[in-house]
Structures are given as structure tokens and as C-alpha cells.
Structure 1
């Protein structure tokens, strides 16, 4: 049986997972859930990478971290995720210069249950594809982007699409925040 990727218009699956949120002793881990952003009335951007301690992934994670204020300015909760354990996430953060100062949680889907429910596991290695979800405050998936394992994503495009979705208007090709929307 082949999994199908949860797509636009679907409800984002419920989850409760441990995440690495700090390098501070005894405050490294925190449980986060699918209800956190809903209860706060915020949008959710969750981006997945295949494996910790690899090469493309830290470039993406560092870029999302550079833009964390842009997501906060848009009332958006940012969560990074992979199927690695919280302990592997913590070791990677401690080991990698670009990851020590992360300002968003690294979710550990160790059981692969969330990745499986989302339909984003690569068939052979059972690691997550590079998938990005934008979820509205009601928990509905509004955008999904999937990259193959070898190709990093464009964080500015995630922000551009988030801006467009938050206008709740018709946005033409290549639209960016501040430009006119379409009046139909």
C-alpha cells in the first residue's frame, strides 16, 4: 500500500511529540502538539528534512533560523522536524555551529508515526522527504511543497506563499507582499 501525501484542504494530523528547544541543561526538551498553534490562533509552518548530520539539511535549517522573525511577524509558529530522535537532534545542535542558536523547535518523530500519517516517508530508507507545510490557524493545510532528498528548498518562497495566503485575496504569479492583489 502506497501512502499519499496529505495535501491542501486536508486537516493536519494531530500530534504530540518531544522537540529540542534549548541547549540549556534540564531545559533541552519540550513536548509540542498540533493544538499549540491553534490555541494561540496562529499559522503553522512545519518543514521536514531527511536526516540529522547530513549536508543539505543544515543549510535549510540555518536559513529558516535567519528568517524566524519574519515568521513571528506573520503570527506563525515555525517547527522543524525529522524522524531522528530528540537526542540525535540535541547532539547535532551541539555539534554544528549553524544550529546551536536555533530559535525554533526541532521535532523528533522517532516513531515515524507523524511522517507516515503525512505520507512523506521515502520508500527505501523510510526518511522524510524535504516537505514544507503551511497550516492555517484552524488546522487546515493550505500549502505543501515537496523536494526530493537532494534538493534544498527556498525559504523566501515559503514566506511569499504565507504572505499570499494571509491576504485571503487572489494573488497573481510572482506576487510579493505590498503588491496589488486581483479584484475579480
Structure 2
């Protein structure tokens, strides 16, 4: 699995950005949000149980990511048509404010090293990528355990200080000053 300090891989994927079949799909790549921080989070499968709780929470907190000049990108190995159907079917996903990337060929998931060896789907992984395309944070949980979106925001805040941040640091608190 790619880790902190590695370059985020190049990709070219379909993203689902609305529920209207006429304008639901856009082509996105690693340059689509040049100069921004990225939070890329992967989930195992659409139409499951833990995944929509996380996706909906990223959606609810999207303005907090926007406030930090950060673009959220969701990712799974399902097709763009499955993503669209899920958005249309699941009320809490209807108006997601970020793209759902379709990694149907599993190329990005494979390049990131997050394909689950047993299930063959993307693991529940989160990457924070800086504006230069360098991975600055990685978290992976078991397929059965949802992540904490507020913790992703806390880590993003800490990374954006470009300073030393102690355990449990929160935005607005003092950072560590080395004498």
C-alpha cells in the first residue's frame, strides 16, 4: 500500500456528480483539482450497510473540507452506473456534494495498494493528499468498521499548520514550538 510521502498515482476515472443521467458523469483525473488538498476515501461496495453512513457523513461535512480548500473524492470499484443508481435510491446520498469515482478496472485501487485480497474490492481507506500530490495521511480500517470523518478533518487541520501538533491536537490550539 502507498503510504505517507509517496506521490498519489495518476488516474482517469468517471465521476458521478448528480442524479440526472444527462449530466451525472464527468471525467476526472489527478489534475482536475490542481493546487488543492484532496481527501480521497474508498469504500468496498455500493448498496451495502456501513458505506452509506460514511459517505453521507463526508457529504454533511463537505463545507468544512471546502473551508480548508480541500476537495473530497469518494471511490469504489463499482461502475458509474451503480453509483448513480445508489445515489438515486438512497435518500442520504441523493445530493452528495462531491464526486463518486468509478474504479471499475481497479487501476487506482491497485496502484494505491488497497484492493482487499479476499473480497477483491477497495478497502475502507482514506488518503489526504497535499497540493503537490504527495500523500500526507493514510488510514485503513477493516471492511466492517466505518471511519471517523471528524478525525480526517482534525488531521487535515494539523497538516495544514505545517507545524508540530501534539496528540489530540485540535484546530486553534497551540502547536509545539521547538526551542
TM range (shorter): over 0.9
Match of 1:70 among 64, 72, 77: 64
How far the C-alpha of 1:23 sits from its partner, in A, is 1.0
Aligned counterparts of 1:119 and 1:165: Cα–Cα separation in 2: 23
Q: Which segments of structure 1 move beyond 2 Å, counting only runs of 4 or more?
A: none
TM-score scaled to structure 2, two decimals? 0.98
Aligned to 1:35: 31
SS in 2 for 1:35: coil
SS in 2 for 1:98: helix
Match of 2:74 among 76, 80, 90: 80
Unaligned runs of 5+ in 2: none
Aligned to 1:95: 89
Give me the CA root mean square deviation: 0.6
The question of 1:15 aligning with 2:2 is answered: no
Aligned to 1:150: 144
Aligned residues: 178
How far the C-alpha of 1:36 sits from its partner, in A, is 1.6
Aligned counterparts of 1:127 and 1:136: Cα–Cα separation in 2: 26
Unaligned runs of 5+ in 1: none
How far the C-alpha of 1:34 sits from its partner, in A, is 0.5
Aligned counterparts of 1:104 and 1:53: Cα–Cα separation in 2: 18
The question of 1:135 aligning with 2:141 is answered: no
TM-score scaled to structure 1, two decimals? 0.96
How far the C-alpha of 1:137 sits from its partner, in A, is 0.2
How far the C-alpha of 1:125 sits from its partner, in A, is 1.7
SS in 2 for 1:37: coil
SS in 1 for 2:92: coil
Aligned to 2:163: 169
- Summarize deviations over 1:13-68 as a string: whole Å, max 9, x none: 00010010011241010011111222xx1100000000000000000000000000
Aligned to 2:48: 54
